[in-house]
Chains A and B, each alone.
Chain A
Amino acid sequence: MSLLETCALRAFYGDFQALFDIDFRIDAGETVAIIGANGAGKTTFLRSVIGVLVGSPEMVTFDGDKVGGLPAHALVRRGIAMVPEGRMLFPSLTVEENLRIGAYGRRTGAWDLQRVYRLFPILEERRNTPSMQLSGGQQQMAAIGRALMSNPRIMLCDELSLGLAPIVIGQIYEGLAVIAAEGMTLIIVEQDIHRALAAADRFYCFQEGRVSLTGPAAGYDQAAITAAYFGV
């Protein structure tokens, strides 16, 4: 049985329909990439899965339970975490406070402050800094650490590479590989196709709110992806 599954998931912004009948599944321990152009519905999909956009119960199944109607705070307590697009650290909180608040739901597990600091040592060095004084890459590390602090069973990562220098993106994805190697289930949303496919076991390509292509990430067909990505 899949850890997380969506069935005919739809999402709306007012009258505008952003997602059309998305069927998606991910097994425990898998890393799945969602790729697609700007506006394809990738972020909307993540926001629907984690309950920021609330749909109907049968649209999302997590660990056998129909959870599509639950709000985000309830899903976080069940073990879904999200690293939101643009990092979204809390400006009023220090780096360490941002990490600590990730553990607000009091889920127990392997991840704690020490373990996050071992993964990203720079965060420990800057633990008492206001979060907005970190560089973009450090902020992304803090956002990943914050999500890990909730000891999730699955982590949704939205545009980790956004606005970061290639060398920093490399560091972030190295960290992600460590997290995946320890058994974390990951959904990675990326515009950078190669980066995403290199990190993933399988991929879904979204186009205008629909799944246009899906398959294993290894040995993918470049031409097929280009067609599914741009719709040409």
Chain B
Amino acid sequence: MGIVSIVIQGTLLGGLYALFAVGLSLTFGIMRIINIGHGDLIVLAAFVAMVCVRALGIHPLATLVVVVPVMFGLGYVLQRGLLNRTLGDNILPPLLVTFGLSVIIQNVLLEMFGADTRRLNVGALETSSILLPGGISVGVFPLMTFAVAVLVLGALQLLFFRSDLGRAFRATSDNPVTAGLMGIDNRHLYALAMAIALAVTAVAGVFLAIRSNFDPAVGPDRLIYAFEAIIIGGLGNLWGTLLGAVVLGIAQSAGAAFDPQWQILTGHLAFLVVLVLRPDGLFPRTRD
């Protein structure tokens, strides 16, 4: 595989990783919660999509119509009913509770669906590709995934910088007590933030389910990729997260080109290199 091809495939893979990372980035950015269960919530969304395909007989991509609202609602309830109670000066309680959540989700999925490896079949879309000049073929589905990631980030960008709700999110992230003095109800706002984060997670889950094999145990790896994308990109910067995800994707593609066994390792190595050279990430949020 030539270098150009590696970069293109890696960039497109980065689109999927960006979808993994955005929800995690939102919950950390707004609530300072590190959601250890994030990867498992992605897998949960994938299983919800699978159930929809089986029960309704619809195209895997069409399940987004169901999975996104379901995860949105789950996010609201999860935050309002559980995670809000863990918030305080101490960062450990939310960490421990989401870790517990991770274990619970994995085991419930295992109990309900077994340990079999699954994949959602989208027929011709899976294998169709576009031939670029120079003989490089680009998969239509990876291209679609990347486009969706850019769309999601663009929509969030608009939400955060062009709406009352977005201003409220940023203000609450700055100072929740003063935000209360603006008439902002933190409990409701945090619940909405988690709802939006899980709506994006739903998209990630559906694209994961189509793109690769999944089973109840693959969540923690997705969490690691999401973490790495965020840290490489720089905390608190949405587009930085996309670029971080692309860096991770390219590193993995390069490793895979060398030897398929190296794919995951080179991704982690790229992450470590960035952490050593630029501990704040490549594009830290400039503020203060």
Contacts and interface: CB of A to CB of B under 8 A. Distances in A.
Band of interface residues on A: 20 to 34
A100 B164 contact: yes
Interface string B164-196: 100110110111011111111110000000000
Contact of B181 (A52, A97, A130): A52
B177 A102 contact: no
Contacts of A50: 181
Interface stretch (A82-90, A114-122, A165-173, A176-184): A82-90
A105 B167 CA distance: 13
Nearest to B169: A92
B288 interface: yes
Interface string B182-218: 1111100000000000000000000000000000000
B181 A93 contact: no
A104 B181 contact: no
A100 B179 CA distance: 12
B168 A101 contact: yes
A84 B180 contact: no
A144 B103 CA distance: 49
Contacts of B180: 51-52, 71-73, 76
A200 interface: no
B178 A73 contact: no
Interface in A59-100: 71-74, 76-77, 81-82, 84, 88, 90-93, 97, 100
Contacts of A97: 167, 170
Nearest to A77: B183
Interface in A36-59: 50-52
A213 interface: no
15 contacts: A51-B180, A52-B177, A71-B185, A72-B177, A72-B181, A73-B183, A76-B183, A91-B288, A92-B171, A93-B167, A93-B171, A97-B170, A101-B168, A104-B164, A150-B182
Interface of A: 50-52, 71-74, 76-77, 81-82, 84, 88, 90-93, 97, 100-102, 104-105, 130, 132, 146, 150
Given A91-B288, A97-B170, A150-B182, 20 more contacts: A50-B181, A73-B184, A76-B181, A81-B181, A84-B178, A88-B175, A90-B174, A90-B175, A90-B179, A91-B287, A92-B170, A92-B171, A92-B173, A92-B287, A100-B167, A101-B164, A102-B182, A105-B183, A130-B287, A132-B288
